[in-house]
Structure 1
């Protein structure tokens, strides 16, 4: 549906173009429950390893990352994640992202019990940012990315896309 506001915009402002950056799988240890705090209900996932693979950048996720989760009263889970990616040629790149996961109560309950659910049955999105040293991967410093996630029985997987 067209609206007068959008009718006058140049084409680059009317849609978002992306290209695949990589697919990433994380190995997360058992979630540490902090519980109800003066703020939110808090839990933390420690990322022990993982892999990422794409046409322009691939490698492994180093041990020591973490996923600080805020479980909101509406059932949504907010993610605040920090990781170190090590490319196949040994360059370390930081990746941080915020995200949100939400869906029907039964779907989320099954997901958190480790059961397989249809990725289309809930919403799981992230917005990664990168810090890379000068050199081959410095282009990552100038990328805005989005990701679509899914929690498989063996851990989370993200398809990450560069916004063009």
Structure 2
């Protein structure tokens, strides 16, 4: 296979409700973003993000922000799906200062990508247990937004 094909799974919008700072660790500046909820919608599944997820963020000395996120999605038909992803966000210092300051910045001006896995016991979504997904992100003031694509 010469190229990677994908199919849009859904758009995920998260609501973050505060940060728990841990501080300068050997790996960088660690903080934990608390996910209060959100929504996801796409052609094959839609629903809400349950409260209680978290993003274990590291601000590295080289200016890269690493993400390590665990969420629980609840579909419109009440199935629950575990979603985990790791990612990177970085760009020119002036652009990232605006993003980190809560300003809207055109996502084309910075790099924000994730690698995603799912876990569910719901038979109608069991296909997610066998899928890898990729995400492209943006960070508007109201919270992170991801377009999630299944790798075919």
Q: 2:107 aligns with which of 119, 125, 147?
A: 119
TM-score (norm 2): 0.97
- Which range is displaced more, 43-52 or 30-39? 30-39
Task: Look up the SS of the partner of 2:128 in the other structure.
Answer: helix
Partner of 1:67: 55
Report what 2:123 is aligned to.
Answer: 135
Q: Distance in 2 between matches of 1:101 and 1:38?
A: 19
Post-superposition offset of 1:91: 0.5
Structure showing greater radius of gyration is 1
Q: 1:109 aligns with which of 97, 108, 114?
A: 97
8 Å contact 2:117–2:132 — kept in the other structure? yes
Q: Which runs of 5+ in 2 are unaligned?
A: none
Query: Taking structure 1 as the reference length, what is the TM-score of the superposition?
Result: 0.90
SS of 2:8's equivalent in the other structure is strand
Which has more strand, going by share of residues?
2
Q: Does 1:156 align with 2:144?
A: yes
Find the aligned partners of 2:27 and 2:115 in 1 and give their Cα distance. Answer: 23
Name the CA distance, whole Å, in 1 between partners of 2:141 and 2:55. 17
Segments of 4+ moved more than 4 angstroms = none
SS of corresponding position for 2:124: coil
Match of 1:9 in 2: none
Cα deviation, 1:57-91, whole Å, max 9, x if unaligned, reads 10000000000001111000010000000000100
